[in-house]
Amino acid sequence: MSSASVCISATELTRTYTRYAVREKGLPLIRRIFRDRQLIPALQGASFEISSGEIVGLLGPNGASKSTTVKLLCGILTPTSGTCTVQGFVPSKDRKEYVKSIGAVFGQRTQLWWDVPIRDSFSLLRDIYGADRHAWKAREEELTDALELSSFMNAPLRQLSLGQKMRAEVCAALLHRPSLLFLDEPTIGLDSPSKVKLRSFLRQENEQYGTTILLTTHDMEDMTALCPRVLVLGRGHLLADTTLDALFARYGKYQRLHCRIPETLSLPDALLELQHAGSIRMSRQGELLDLIFDPHLVSAQRILELLLRAGSMEGITLSQEDADALVSRMYREMKLI
């Protein structure tokens, strides 16, 4: 990767937290003042590079140090050791200039004012960034249309639904045209239509302006919709830096067959024997039959042949196993859970 194309570069990036012992009654005063402390390792020696224009996902269970990584890259936290540069800046040292070139959305925090109309919050941000009024207005109109904000621009943040708030937060993070956007759990709590709209907008922003996006989420639909490449964190270590396709190829070893059969139809003994042997997992509710199987142990063709011997069926679909199940298996095999 040429240095000219590198947006984020981290080398042996480490962050350790200090935890102090609880003050206990009955201890001598000196012990209560000078408490024992414990060093808690969070991120441990992570090294990676992200090119300009990439969309990269940060994946890992709770406590994997995903948010710590984002905060280090944003300059909110200072590394205990190691180095990171983002767009030529050292985030924790060059924070005043650096933040002008980035945007950040934290799903459980806000950068807008609770009792202030959204439009006025955007005006306050314009003054904070010292942006040109005409350029800001044009960008605000563009994002207002793209994110469908016009119906609540005059409402204060406290009156908005969760989906409206999140779209307003994304707009606020992009108004100053940052070349890099950090997203930490941006779809948390959103309904399906809101998630689909937000993902579509982020893809468009990346394609149209080449905005680099680093996305942290537990929602695998976010990953599959947006991130060709993923960094997998576990217990503070960077465990994998790979493509999402490679991750699915390695851990997505199961397939799912779904079909509709008459309730009166008895399943063939050969199919039940495969279930008993553990080659397939099968569930049946009324007319709906769902099978999950390892194609290395039994082929989809063999399963279909057995079902067809039993009688008629319709609505047959064959697909990969649910992405969340894949990630759960990956975590188990990496001994993260």
Mean predicted confidence (pLDDT) in 255-261? 88
CA 20 to chain centre: 31
CATH 3.30.70 in the chain, residues? 253-320
Q: At what angle do helices 244-251 and 323-333 cross, to 10 degrees?
A: 70
Q: Is the CB of residue 118 less than 8 Å from the CB of residue 152?
A: yes
Percent of the chain topping pLDDT 90: 50
- How far apart, in Å, are the Cα atoms of 177 and each of 118, 209, 260? 18, 9, 50
* Measured distance CA(89)–CA(7) in Å, rounded: 10
The pLDDT tens digits of the residues spanning 296-327 come to 889 888 998 888 887 878 888 887 766 667 77
Residues 182, 66: Cα–Cα separation, whole Å: 12
Query: Alpha carbon of 174 to those of 147, 170, 197, 202, 249: distances in Å?
Result: 11, 6, 16, 11, 35
Do 194 and 163 touch, CB atoms closer than 8 A?
yes
Token digits for 319? 């697909």
Looking at the structure, give the CATH architecture of the domain made up of residues 253-320. 2-Layer Sandwich (3.30)
pLDDT value of residue 112: 94
**Where in the chain do CATH 3.40.50.300 domains reside?**
3-250
The mean-pLDDT minimum among 46-60, 123-137, 246-260 falls in 246-260
CATH fold, domain 3-250, is Rossmann fold (3.40.50)
Rounded-to-integer distance, Cα 259 and Cα 299, Å: 16
pLDDT digits (tens, 9 = 90+) for 177-235: 999 999 988 888 788 888 888 999 999 999 999 999 999 988 888 888 899 999 998 88
Instruction: Read off the pLDDT band of 12 (50, 70, 90).
Output: very high
To the nearest 10 degrees (0 to 180), the angle between helices 162-174 and 133-146 is: 150
Average pLDDT, stretch 249-270?
84
The token pair that represents 298 in the structure block: 């039994």
- Report whether pLDDT(3) > 50: no
**1 — pLDDT class (breaks 50, 70, 90):** very low
CB 236 within 8 A of CB 229: no
Binning pLDDT at 50, 70 and 90, where does residue 2 land? very low
Instruction: Measure the CA–CA gap between 109 and 166, rounded to whole angstroms.
Output: 10
pLDDT tens column, 267-285: 889 999 999 988 899 999 9
Average pLDDT of the chain?
A: 88
Q: Which residue has the higher pLDDT, 61 or 169?
A: 169
With CA atoms as reference, report the closest residue to 310 among 276, 277, 261. Answer: 261
**Which of 59-63, 126-130, 330-334 is predicted most confidently?**
126-130
Residue that wins the pLDDT comparison between 274 and 3: 274
pLDDT, tens only, 32-43: 566 677 888 899
Q: Residue 103 class from Cβ within 10 Å (0-12 exposed, 13-18 middle, 19+ buried)?
A: buried
Dihedral angle computed from the Cα positions of residues 74, 44, 19 and 184, in that order, rounded to the nearest 10 degrees: 40
Output the pLDDT for position 187.
86
Report DSSP state, residue 282. Answer: E
pLDDT at 248 over 80: no
Number of H helices and E strands in the chain, helices first, is: 12, 13
Residues listed for the chain:
337
- Which of the residue ranges 1-5, 36-40, 63-67 has the most confident prediction, judged by mean pLDDT? 63-67
**What's the confidence (pLDDT) of residue 247?**
82
